[in-house]
């Protein structure tokens, strides 16, 4: 997926797709929120899902809450960039907002699982930067799932057992961050994004920029 648009430093660039994945409870939601709050030029991709809304969630902000038939229709019309079944519910990324943001030179943040990450990578390898967040221990993961306390015990048990499976995909990611401490983990994720934004290949306006520099020097 290629796109133009002016970057944070005035040089034209392609937006990148910044993917965070982890087992539920490893701190990915908090990290996503901090990134959106503190990194200008980054926009959250709001997924469509068939799962029921949790207390405190807002339709259109946290997810687009849709029923199964609406989801199926989105798949049929090719409106989703990727989609997957997670915990018996469907989740998918609406294509249009992502393409619009990337075309404007904005980066897009995705909180999606390994299945979605694989699909994005197949479609746009050069534009995808993927980060896997690991909890420091199983006990820590369980504690965070209980503290969140929005799900029934049976759901939490299901998420713990699924965590083992999700963990097995860690090696498919570009970067691995261990979330011992949320501030440190945030600093690490932020550094990854900052460095990836400076990659030469993404900075489509550099040739023009350097040519202008040379012209000025030759005067
Ligand atoms: P939750 O129901 O706890 O919000 O999310 C469950 C899992 O679904 C998380 O691992 C989350 O990353 C993943 N997920 C959320 N949205 C999407 C999506 O659009 N596509 C894919 N593949 N996974 C998603």
Structural domain includes residue 133: yes
- Kindly give the number of the ligand 1 atom that is closest to the alpha carbon of 45: 19
CA 77, chain centre distance (Å) = 23
Q: How many domains does the chain have?
A: 1
State the DSSP H helix or E strand holding residue 23, giving kind and residue range, or none if neither.
Answer: none
- Kindly give the number of the ligand 1 atom that is closest to the alpha carbon of 89: 2
Task: Compute the 3-state secondary structure of the chain and give helix, strand, coil in percent, each to the nearest 5.
Answer: 45, 20, 30
CA 74, chain centre distance (Å) = 20
CB 131 within 8 A of CB 173: yes
pTM: 0.92
Structural domain includes residue 76: no
By residue range, what is the domain housing residue 115? 5-45+107-217
Atom 1 (ligand 1) nearest CA: 24
The span from the CA of 194 to the CA of 2, in Å, is 19
Sheet holding 175-178, edge to edge: 42-44, 107-111, 17-21, 128-134, 175-178
Structural domain includes residue 30: yes
Q: Domain containing 28 — which CATH number? A: 3.40.50.300
Of 113, 141, 162, which is best to mutate to test ligand 1, by the most ligand atoms within 8 angstroms of its C-beta?
Answer: 113
Cα(199) to centroid(ligand 1), Å: 28
Q: Tens-of-pLDDT digits for all 219 residues of the chain? A: 444 566 667 899 889 999 999 988 888 999 999 999 999 999 999 999 999 999 999 999 999 999 999 999 999 999 999 999 988 899 999 999 999 999 888 999 999 999 999 999 999 999 999 999 999 998 888 888 887 766 678 878 887 888 888 999 999 999 999 999 999 999 999 999 999 999 999 999 999 999 999 999 998
Structural domain includes residue 94: no
């Amino acid at each position: 997926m290629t796109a133009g648009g002016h970057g944070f430093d005035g040089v034209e660039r392609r937006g990148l797709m910044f993917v965070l994945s982890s087992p539920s409870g490893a701190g990915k939601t908090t990290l996503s929120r901090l990134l959106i709050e503190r990194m200008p030029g980054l926009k959250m991709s709001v997924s469509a899902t068939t799962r029921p809304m949790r207390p405190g969630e807002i339709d259109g902000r946290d997810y687009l809450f849709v029923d199964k038939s609406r989801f199926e229709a989105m798949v049929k019309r090719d409106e989703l960039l990727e989609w997957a079944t997670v915990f018996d519910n469907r989740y998918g990324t609406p294509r249009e907002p992502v393409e619009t943001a990337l075309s404007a030179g904005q980066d897009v943040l995705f909180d999606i699982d390994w299945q979605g990450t694989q699909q994005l990578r197949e479609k746009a390898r050069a534009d995808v930067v993927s980060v896997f967040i690991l909890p420091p221990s199983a006990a820590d993961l369980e504690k965070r799932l209980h503290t969140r306390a929005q799900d029934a015990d049976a759901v939490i048990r299901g998420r713990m057992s699924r965590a083992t499976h999700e963990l097995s995909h860690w090696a498919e990611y570009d970067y691995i961050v261990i979330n011992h401490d949320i501030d440190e983990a945030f600093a690490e994720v932020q550094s990854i994004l900052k460095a990836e934004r400076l990659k030469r290949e993404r900075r489509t306006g550099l040739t023009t920029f350097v040519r202008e520099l040379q012209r000025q020097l030759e005067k």
